[in-house]
Amino acid sequence: MFITSADYKVQVEKIIQENHSIDIAVAFWGKGAEKLFANSDIPIRILCNLTSGGTNPAPIEKLRNKEIFKNIEIKHLDDLHAKVLVGDKSAIVGSANISTNGLNIEEGEFNGWQEAGFVTHDVVELKKMRQWFEQQWARGGGVNENLLEQARINWAKRREGRIGLPGEATSVLEMKPEALSDKKIFLALWSKSVSDEATAANIERHDNRIAQLGAASTPPPYFFEGWDEAPGEILLGQSIISVYVGLKGRVRVDGAYKVVDDKHSSTIGTKLHICDTLNKLEEHPFGKKQKLELEARIRKYATQLKTGATSVLIPLEDFVARYCA
C-alpha cells in the first residue's frame, strides 16, 4: 500500500500496534519521537545515526531509560540513511525520518515535507527486510554518553543553520517560534545609550585596526556596551536586533547585527560587543519595512515588555510566540 505525508504517521503507529516485535532502521530522530512508543511493550530494536547532526539526541536519551522503556534496545550506525520499520506481520519502507520533517512530531515546527512510502505484508519481502536489518544491526555500535555528547554538539550546529519549508514565511517575525528555537537571535531592548567613553574606545579600536590593515577609512562598527551578566548577557556569535525603547513610549529599531568581537576594554572597564550589520535574518530580508513592522509591534506591547531595567535581552522565539502569533 502506497502512503503519503497525510497518513504516514498513522501507518507508523499501526505498525507498532499490530506486530509482536519491531526492528527500526531510521537514521534521524526528532523531539517527541519517544511518544510513539509510550504505550508499547513489544520488543523493539532501534538503529539510528547520531553523528551526522540530523538526530536530536533528546528522544534517544529518553528511549534509553530502562525504567520507562524496558523493551527497547538502541544502536548507532554512522553511515545509516535508511528509513525502514519491519515487524513480523508488516513493514514500512519510505522517505520519512522519525522527526519533525518526516512525521511532524516536533510540535509544529513545520507542517512537514512531502513524504512517501510503502506498506507491505508480503512474507517474502518481510524476510528479506529482516535479514537486511540483522546485517546492519551487527555493524552498529552501542550508544554511550560520549556519543550522545557529540550528537548534542552536532545537532546544535545543524539547528543553527537549518531553514524552514520554502514559502513558509516572508519575514523572520512570521516564522513559527519552534523554527526559531536555538537560532541565537535576540531582541536587545534598551533605554540608556552607550557612554561617551565607550564610543571613544570603539572609534580608537576601529582606527587602530584600519591602520594595521592599511585599509581605507570606514565608519566605526555598531556595538553594545556592557550586557555581560546573565540572563541578559550578549555573547559572541549571537544575532541581535537592537531596539531603543524610550520612557515616553518612543520605539526605534536600529537594525540587526551579528556579534563578531566581545573584547573587554581596559580603558572603560567593561565589554564592548562589536558587531557586523545584517541585512537578512534566516534568509529573510531585514530592512526598513521589517524595522517599521517590529517597531509597531513593540510599541503596541511596550507596557508589557517593561521590566524596570534599562536593558533586557529577549529570545526572538519568545517574542514571536507571545506578540506575533
From 154-168, 195-209, 212-226, the region with the lowest mean pLDDT: 154-168
Average pLDDT over residues 264-293: 88
Band (pLDDT 50/70/90 cuts) for residue 162 is low
Does a structural domain hold residue 117? Answer: yes
**Are residue 93 and residue 236 in the same domain, yes or no?**
no
**Are residue 115 and residue 215 in the same domain, yes or no?**
no
**Are residue 154 and residue 8 in the same domain, yes or no?**
yes
pLDDT at 130: 95
**Are residue 131 and residue 16 in the same domain, yes or no?**
yes
Band (pLDDT 50/70/90 cuts) for residue 142 is very high
Quick: pLDDT tens for 72-121. Answer: 999 999 999 999 999 999 999 998 888 755 454 444 444 557 889 999 99
Q: How far is Cα 94 from Cα 36, in angstroms, rounded to an integer?
A: 17
User: 192: which DSSP letter?
Assistant: S
Q: Pick the last residue of a domain from 106, 129, 160.
A: 160
Say if residue 184 is exposed, middle or buried (CB neighbours under 10 Å; 0-12, 13-18, 19+).
middle
Please tell me which residue, 275 or 266, carries the higher pLDDT value.
Answer: 275
Does a structural domain hold residue 165? Answer: no
Percentage of residues in the chain with pLDDT exceeding 70? 89
**Are residue 140 and residue 192 in the same domain, yes or no?**
no
Q: Are 99 and 113 in contact (CB under 8 A)?
A: no
The gap from C-alpha 154 to its chain's centroid, in whole angstroms, comes to: 11
Q: Pick the last residue of a domain from 133, 160, 187.
A: 160
Q: How many domains does the chain have?
A: 2
Quick: pLDDT tens for 175-191. Answer: 888 888 878 999 999 98
C-alpha dihedral, 240 to 245 to 251 to 254, nearest 10°: -30
pLDDT at 166: 52
Alpha helices by DSSP H, listed for the chain, are 8-18, 57-63, 100-103, 123-139, 145-160, 177-180, 196-213, 288-300, 302-305, 316-323
Query: Which cell goes with 50?
Result: 547520531
**Global pTM value:** 0.57
Asked if residue 204 has pLDDT above 50, the reply is yes
Q: Grid cell 571613544 — which residue?
A: 200
Domain residues for the domain of 138 are 2-160
Does a structural domain hold residue 167? Answer: no
Question: What CATH number did the domain enclosing 112 receive?
Answer: 3.30.870.10
